[in-house]
A and B are shown apart, each in its own frame.
Chain A
Amino acid sequence: GLFIWRLRNTGVRQIPYRFVNLYHIANDRLISFQYFNFLKRMYVTQYNKDLSQRAKPKSDSAVSPFHELQQLDQEKKVVHKISPVSPVHQSWSETLVRNEWREMKSAAETEDSVIPVGAGSKEDRQWKEMKLRLDDLPGVLARLSKIKLTALVVSTASAGFAMAPVPFELTRFLLASFGTGLASCAANSINQFFEVPFDSNMNRTKNRPLVRGQISPLLAVCFAASCGVPGIALLTLGVNPLTGALGAFNIFLYTCCYTPLKRMSIANTWVGAVVGAIPPIMGWTAATGSLDAGALLLGGILYSWQFPHFNALSWGLREDYSRGGYCMMSVTHPGLCRRVALRHCLALIGLSAVAPVLDITTWTFPVISLPINLYISYLGFQFYRDADRSSSRKLFFCSLWHLPMLLLVMFTCKKSVLEKEDKGDLPGRSRERAMEIRLP
């Protein structure tokens, strides 16, 4: 239900409805900066970091020129409204709020439940009762725990587990995946708990549950604890202590290092890359129980992948980051931002080549993965050279399919546990044989 709701929300059906809103807005006297932000959000939601939300570049480009024009008109109107404001701005905004409240009062009485589909702007403008409804709870918790990102994290952990050179154990795999998922939910919830006023001010994150008051901070923390503690316990006791320790460390790194660092220094990006690299290491250690070179290589691949992915994403969000006070390379050191993205695209090629050396995959892996690695490096180079929105978007969207494809190719080229492959085997045959042996 949740996924269908998300799809419908970002579907093309939304766009005509919002164009109607645009005309309304242009004629409205009280042109709120919020409507402007809302329009921008529709454009910016395509930048969602989640893997499963495949953005539609076509509809994006059709809408954006129109957006730009409307945004400018509204911005100008807003600016002219603001300049004659007296120093007593706080009371003014309060009266404004009270006026809006009076307008919405009648609407609020009839409308106090969340509309799952469409009417995003109407929902935004209404007063809502801050009471938790049990049927809303799953949806709210899913958004609180960033369930799609969690799913991506769990899949990278599963990839780590699958790549480990040990016989596959299903129960262990399920425990590790579930534990990692719980840990990720906990970390994401705490992150949202810390970032409420900042999330309110950024278009990408304006509709998170804590920002909208759909859940109280206390409940968010309790949820995080009730996910984190069992998750780590599951990993430590059900899998092995090393995985549990890595999970706990990752939660700590994400919530207590990365989240505050985002507003202090650009080093946050590197810390964030480590956070992304740990889940596959956790998967590997869950399978083998030890931290060997293969785990570190997988972690390294994911670490390098984070840079083109995030740097490209952050290129389009510079205004929001600047206003929100986030220290990101794209704002403060744009040259470095692009250099680092390119550097890590190239590093991916190198890391893929190291895989057969460490006996994780056959030599076919660097060969087969070369085209996609070269392609992302090419886009990385274009981003480095052109430094514009289109190249950043191309790089970002490429990174979304590049990673799953790379992991898939890696898995199919995995060196089998029981039989040593001859170097002269054809790629197809070796893959087939490897698959046969892997089936329980």
Chain B
Amino acid sequence: PPAHSHSDWIGPPDKHSNLRPVIFYVPPEESALERRLREARQEAQASNQRFWARHNRAFRQEKEEFIYSRLKAKGLEMRDESGQKATLNAEEMADFYKDFLSKNLKKHLQYNRDWYKHNFRITFLMGQVALVRALRWLRRRKKNVEQ
């Protein structure tokens, strides 16, 4: 993001986690509350990134292994004569999807709890910051009017 910008910038989705990274703007006179908000957002971002990057990587790897083992069981190679990658159809993949989902269910439940906590905390802090800013703006206006 350009150096003179006063807002946060959000980027394209990450290759592994599919989440969009945010670069947070740190204002020179950042209050303690605003700092807590920014840190909460950064922490949530990092935690989400970690989870999804690892999860998606595991998915892809396990999917490859599954395809390989199934093809081997069928006596086929990974690539046929024309050099095209051999795949399994949707019905065969369904076994893998079912298996993967049940294996990761507990991990997801834990992640859900964490995500909801982060989300509520960030939104609440955002609300507080917005309120403080609004009051500050009102006070400034009152002062201008009095002057």
State which of A211, A212, A213, A218 has its C-beta within 8 Å of the C-beta of B127.
Answer: A218
Select which of B21, B48, B84 is within 8 A of A69 by beta carbon. Answer: B84
Docked complex: B100-131 residues within 8 A CB-CB of A: 100-102, 104-105, 107-109, 111-112, 115-116, 119, 122-123, 126-127, 130
> Do A216 and B11 touch across chains, with their CB atoms under 8 A apart?
no
Q: Tell me whether B2 and A108 are in contact (CB under 8 A).
A: yes
A82 at the interface (CB under 8 A from B): yes
Q: How far is the CA of A196 from the CA of B91 in the complex (A)?
A: 29
CB of A223 within 8 Å of the partner chain: no
Knowing A90-B53, A96-B15, A263-B108, the reply to whether A197 touches B10 (Cβ < 8 A) is no
The answer to whether A408 has its CB under 8 Å from any CB of chain B is no
- Residue B145 CB within 8 A of the other chain: no
Interface presence of B57 (CB below 8 A)? yes
Tell me, in angstroms, the Cα distance from A321 to B108 when the chains sit together: 12
Instruction: Choose, from B28-36, B58-66, B134-142, the stretch at the interface.
Output: B58-66
Set of chain A residues within 8 Å of B8, measured between Cβ atoms: 129-130, 213
Interface of A is mostly: helix
Mostly helix, strand, loop or mixed at chain B's interface?
A: helix
Q: How far is the CB of A366 from chain B (nearest CB, A)?
A: 36
Considering the complex, give the chain A residue whose CB is closest to the CB of B115: A197
Query: A197-B52, A217-B126 are known contacts. Are A127 and B15 too (CB-CB below 8 A)?
Result: no
* A82/B11 contact (C-beta < 8 A), A264-B109, A318-B94, A325-B101 known: no
B90 beta carbon closer than 8 Å to chain A: yes
Q: Which residues of A contact B42 (CB under 8 A)?
A: none
A118-157 vs B: 1/0 string, CB under 8 Å? Answer: 0000001111111100000000000000000000000000
Inter-subunit contact A327/B101 (CB<8 Å): yes
B69: interface (CB < 8 Å): no
A52 to B61, CA, bound (A): 38
CB distance from B46 to the nearest CB of A (A): 8
B residues 1-29 with Cβ under 8 Å of A?
Answer: 1-2, 5, 7-23
Taking a contact as CB atoms closer than 8 A, the residue among A126, A197, A201, A318 that contacts B12 in the complex is A126
Ordered by A's residue number, 30 sampled pairs between the chains whose C-beta atoms are within 8 Å are A32-B15, A37-B13, A73-B85, A75-B85, A79-B64, A82-B61, A89-B54, A90-B53, A101-B11, A105-B1, A128-B9, A128-B10, A129-B1, A131-B7, A193-B123, A194-B119, A197-B19, A200-B17, A200-B20, A201-B17, A201-B19, A206-B13, A213-B8, A218-B130, A260-B112, A321-B101, A322-B59, A323-B56, A323-B59, A325-B107
Task: Enumerate the 5 nearest inter-chain pairs by beta-carbon distance, A residue then B residue, closest first.
Answer: A213-B10, A322-B97, A325-B108, A218-B126, A130-B8
B residues in contact (CB < 8 Å) with A: 1-2, 5, 7-23, 46, 48-50, 52-57, 59-61, 64, 84-85, 87, 90-91, 93-94, 96-98, 100-102, 104-105, 107-109, 111-112, 115-116, 119, 122-123, 126-127, 130
A residues lining the B interface (CB < 8 Å): 32-34, 37, 68-69, 72-73, 75-76, 78-79, 82-83, 85, 89-90, 93, 96-97, 100-101, 104-105, 108-109, 124-131, 193-194, 196-197, 200-201, 206, 211-213, 216-218, 221, 260, 263-264, 318-319, 321-323, 325-327, 331-332, 334, 387-389
